[in-house]
């Protein structure tokens, strides 16, 4: 299980810190998972493909303690993301689309 504190991937301005390489790929995946799991609207960002197997879209949801938990149905990779609230990828306060 991948246990992640999202603040470890932020720069001083709150943006994505890793510039390139595997750290950037992992960070982008984690931020995409948070955006997907934190948006409760019908227009939520699509679930990202697993960073490990690159095959299937992960399932992601908020746990009782508000951590984001994710699982890949293709390779069984899983993780838990904490300290995502208040980041640019926290979409909980995003206005719902008018229909």
* pLDDT tens figures, 25-40: 999 999 999 999 998 7
Q: Is 15 among the domain residues?
A: yes
Q: Is 18 among the domain residues?
A: yes
| 66 beta partners | none
Q: Is 96 among the domain residues?
A: no
Half-sphere exposure for 11 (CA within 13 Å, toward CB): 7
What residues contact 25, with CB distance under 8 A and at least 6 apart? 51
Q: Is 78 among the domain residues?
A: yes
Tally of domains within the chain: 1
Q: Is 55 among the domain residues?
A: yes
Tell how many helices (H) and how many strands (E) occur in the chain.
1, 4
Domain around 54: 2-82
Q: Is 97 among the domain residues?
A: no
Q: Per the confidence metrics, is the pTM higher than 0.85?
A: yes
Q: Is 90 exceeded by the pLDDT of residue 67?
A: yes
Q: Is 70 exceeded by the pLDDT of residue 99?
A: no
| Residue-level pLDDT at 61 | 93
């Amino acid at each position: 299980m991948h246990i992640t504190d999202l603040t470890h991937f932020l720069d001083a301005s709150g943006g994505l810190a890793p510039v390139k390489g595997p750290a950037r790929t992992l960070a982008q995946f984690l931020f995409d998972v948070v955006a997907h799991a934190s948006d409760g609207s019908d227009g939520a960002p699509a679930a990202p493909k697993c960073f490990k197997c690159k095959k299937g879209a992960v399932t992601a949801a908020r746990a009782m303690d508000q951590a984001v938990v994710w699982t890949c149905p293709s390779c069984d990779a899983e993780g838990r993301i904490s300290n995502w609230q208040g980041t640019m990828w926290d979409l909980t306060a995003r206005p719902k689309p008018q229909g």
